[in-house]
Amino acid sequence: MVTGYGAVTPLGHSVNETWTAMLAGRSGIDTVDAIDVTDLEVRIGGQVRGFTPGRYMPPTVSRRADPYAQYALTAALEACEHAGLVVDDGLAPRIAVIIGSGYGPVSSIYRAANRLRDKGPRAIGPFTQVTTAMDSAAGEISMRLGTQGPSRAQSTACASGADAIGAGMRMISSGEADIVLAGGADACVTTVDLAGSGNARALSKRNDDPTAACRPFDARRDGFVMSEGAAVVVLEAAEVADRRGARALAELAGYGASSDAHHWTAPHPEGRGACLAVDAALRDAGITGADVDYVNAHGTGTVLNDATETAVLRKVLGDRVTQIPVSSTKSMTGHMIGAAGAVELVASIQVLRTGDVPPTINCDEPIDPDINFVPHRTQHHERVRIALSNSFGFGGHNAALVVRAV
């Protein structure tokens, strides 16, 4: 069961702020101003603006923690508050933490490398090897909350957040943990990452019109938009949630993962790996494509991904895909890499709870006119019981999650 969630995104510093902005169709994409982008070909991104770490953590933590870890910790604190979860001596050994990230603490890594170059070895702090590690977000959460179960990192590119949540589900199913704080975080709106992804021709170059840059499933799409953020959900065994008196928000019913074994940046042209992941998630949930009521698509806005994902959905869901809403919230948040799958699962749960389906903004000319991509404006659908959330990443990593209304 999912009993709580938290989020930090380019749309807001909480789930409520993010969800409200999604329903309004508001874009969080703008010209990047936190770094010097003068010499870059791509100068737009989805930044977490106005974030003040001191509101959520003591200075000793904010000084050492990379922004990606700060976002993850903030989302975890909101998730625990939302779930009414207080970690005590009885619960602590049975609570695990899994945080997915595609890039990890890149700002801290770049900063340390520059300091070593400019000032020499004595300028490198004693915590550098810890704070520049991929598991630093999970470690910060565990130490802040006092959890004593397993804590670890998950890294599968853009599928990292979804895979972390799926791994948390498996951990509970196997009896390894009773409660798991699972999610994803990334803060890779950096000079290096904008330059590299831009040189790979993966990013949109609409520098003059940032809010229109991310155009999932639109005929004029030209790439994704690099963004940052985090989301964490509280997963609990049903009997543990009942014993705590916790309210279930949704049931995490299915998880599937696969690899394309094809190309570092391009999806398999026939979507074989993606089909395997979605099929596995549906099978795990004990349903078929005919049971799905909503799809939160991976929907990056790249030429190859959107075409491939559309074909995958037609193959896996059959005629059902033309009867239900399919939207990409990345059109508003941009691509938060490791955080994307976690944020999009939260959005999917909100759809189950409210019937409100956030739009795919900028979808002016849908590449498949028979599919309802929820263009421009939020739609309300009376019966949405099962949602599918897709995450497909560089390196051929694929993950799919199925959530059911309770």
Which residues belong to the active site?
158
Nearest Cα to 135, choosing from 174, 172, 96? Answer: 96
**Cα 397 from chain centroid?**
14
Handedness of CA 42, 44, 46, 52 (dihedral sign): positive
Rounded CA-CA distance 253/336 in Å is: 24
DSSP state of 159: T
What is the rounded CA–CA span in Å between residue 203 and residue 71? 23
- Single-letter amino acid code for the residue at 355: G
Nearest CA among 267, 217, 223, 228 for reference residue 392: 267
Cβ-count burial 352-378 (b if 16+ within 10 Å, e if not):
beebebbbbbbbeebbbeebbbbbeeb
Cα→Cα distances 46→77, 157, 187, 332, 373, Å: 22, 18, 10, 9, 22
Cα end-to-end span (Å), the chain: 9
The DSSP bridge pattern shows strands 228-236 and 2-8 to be antiparallel
Strand order through the sheet with 397-404: 251-259, 397-404, 386-393, 294-296, 326-327
- Residue 3: strand pairing partners: none
218 close to 110: Cβ distance less than 8 angstroms: no
